[in-house]
Amino acid sequence: MPTLKVDRGLCEGYGNCVVQAPDVFDLGDDDIVTLLRIDVPPSDRTRIDEAVQSCPVAALAIVDE
């Protein structure tokens, strides 16, 4: 199953991903994204991919294993 990865060093806290998929992404107290889950089920792939692509600094990725 594909999984989500985040590069916390790149994240600047824009929050686009949180707006797109609040059940998957959140911003911590430091305004850096945290993952609420890492698995990307096929039924949610398109929605989560759109959230990943909305990141202006490319801090998020879906990794197909």
pLDDT in tens, 14-42: 999 999 999 999 999 999 999 999 999 99
Count the domains in the chain.
Answer: 1
Residue 10 is given by DSSP the state T
How many whole angstroms from its chain centre is CA 5? 7
Which residue segment(s) compose the domain that 50 sits in? 3-63
Dihedral (Cα; 4, 53, 45, 2), 10-degree rounding: -30
Mean pLDDT of 47-55: 98
Collapsing DSSP to helix, strand or coil, 5 comes out as strand
Degrees, nearest 5: CA angle 41-58-42: 10
Quick one: pLDDT at residue 65? 77
- CATH number of the CATH domain containing 26: 3.30.70.20
State pTM to two decimals: 0.93
